[in-house]
């Protein structure tokens, strides 16, 4: 396998201009959850015209330190540095 370094970014997104802290691909590979200092967002990978959707309104008092999808239930788990975990369900 050969990796190539691109000289420039093909596409870039920064939700609300905030730094991206974590990303998590959806279990079907069709979405990408993005945790930033401005909130939690969802990017539809196969709908190229779709804007990034907010899962949580920002700004957050405490940004999420980790996010992960459950591959069975397709729920998104978002953990904060204080040990709290929030669960978000994707509506079809």
pLDDT tens per residue across span 18-48: 788 899 999 888 889 999 888 899 988 888 7
How far is the C-alpha of 6 from the C-alpha of 4, rounded, in Å? 6
Write down the pTM of the prediction.
0.75
As a whole number, mean pLDDT of residues 65-81 equals 92
């Amino acid at each position: 396998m050969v990796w190539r370094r691109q000289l420039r970014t093909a596409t870039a997104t920064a939700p609300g201009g905030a730094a991206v802290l974590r990303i998590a691909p959806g279990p079907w590979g069709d979405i990408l959850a993005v945790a930033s200092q401005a909130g939690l967002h969802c990017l539809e990978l196969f709908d190229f015209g779709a804007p990034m959707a907010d899962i949580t309104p920002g700004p957050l008092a405490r940004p999420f330190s980790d996010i992960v999808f459950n591959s069975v239930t397709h729920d998104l788990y978002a953990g904060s540095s204080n040990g709290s975990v929030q669960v978000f369900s994707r509506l079809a």
